[in-house]
Structures are given as structure tokens and as C-alpha cells.
Homo-oligomer: A and B are copies of this chain.
Amino acid sequence: MPDTTESTPGWLSSDELQLVRARMPILYVEAVPVRVDESGEVTSIGLLLRIGPDGIVSRTLVSGRVLHHERVRDALLRHLEKDLGPVALPRVPASLQPFTVAEYFPTLGITPFHDPRQHAVSLAYIVPVSGDCRPRQDALDLEWFSPQEAASAVVLDDMPGGQAVLLKQALAHVGCLS
């Protein structure tokens, strides 16, 4: 899970967040942005390109915390807008049933997901976007891949912390993992 800058200030100071992260699982949402054709079939998957504090470039999904008193669907919208810009026209699902729940542990090996900063539990959704995507903030670029490309080692190897696994789960869920 990438170290995304929150565009909206959280309800916690940086110090407090630090403290809480050591004590509680933190609730996240993750979105796999996709383009779909008229029949709903996924034609491409959007991945963000980021440069981490260590200068390493990685590909990531849209993700971020759910804030106090924020609905899951509003958190999804907020992070989609933060990462894809204001005219991406995301279609947040009508049902809150996620396709999976990804559990990021600070310890390696408990699940396929790893986040050195915290124990994060992430509700994961497929989100079709139909508008123009203009990555913002710490994202350098958004690149669209065919399902075949997205499932290739060259793309998956650039995804840190287990997000490659989550992407494969998403591709499987939409019938695009062959």
C-alpha cells in the first residue's frame, strides 16, 4: 500500500496517526480503475505511477484511508478524485460488497499483503471510470494496460506490498485473468 498523501486533512495529527497505527487496524479503501466496453467487459486497467521517498518508481492502485464520519463510498470518491483528477467520472458500485478484503500487516508473511507502517485492512472495489484521468499530487502518471499486460510479470513486479496480488484478484473477479 503506497504512502499516499491525504488531499483532505485527516482528523488526526501526524503524531496521533503514528500512535494509532501502532495500536489499531486502519481502515482503507482500494479501487482498481477500469475502462469497460458497452457490455461491461473490462478493456483496460489503470495503474498509477509513483516515485517513493526512496526514489523507487512503483505502480499502484488507487487507495487511501477512510476518515472519521466518512462513508466508504465517499472515501472511494475522494481518493479517486485525488488520484485521477476531478473529471475521471468514476462509477462507484451500487453495492458495498467488496470483491475482497486485503489485510496489510507490518509483519511479512502473515498474508500476501505488507505495509511496514501499519496494519491496514482494505475494502477493494472495481471502479469503471469513463472520463479523462489526470493524475495529481504524488502520482506522476496514470497508464492504461490491457488485461493481458496488467497480468504480466513486467507490470506486476513493479507493484509493492502485495498490490500485485490484489490486482490479480481483481482481474480474476472480472474474468480477465487467463
A residues at B contact (CB < 8 Å): 11-12, 16, 20, 22-27, 34, 36, 38-42, 66-74, 76-77, 91-101, 103, 105-107, 110-112, 119, 121, 123, 126, 128, 165, 168-169, 171-175, 177-178
Select one of B68, B126, B128, B168 contacting A25, CB under 8 A.
Answer: B68
Residues of B within 8 A of A97 (CB): 97-101, 173
Residues of B within 8 A of A25 (CB): 27, 66-68, 70
Residues of B within 8 A of A165 (CB): 177-178
CA distance A101 to B178 in the complex (A): 15
The 9 closest A-B pairs by CB, nearest first: A40-B92, A172-B172, A169-B172, A96-B101, A39-B73, A112-B178, A11-B23, A94-B174, A25-B27
Instruction: Given contact pairs A91-B128, A112-B178, A165-B177, enumerate 17 new A-B contacts (beta carbons under 8 Å).
Output: A12-B23, A20-B24, A24-B26, A27-B27, A27-B121, A40-B73, A41-B73, A95-B175, A96-B100, A96-B101, A97-B98, A97-B100, A97-B173, A100-B173, A112-B175, A168-B177, A169-B173
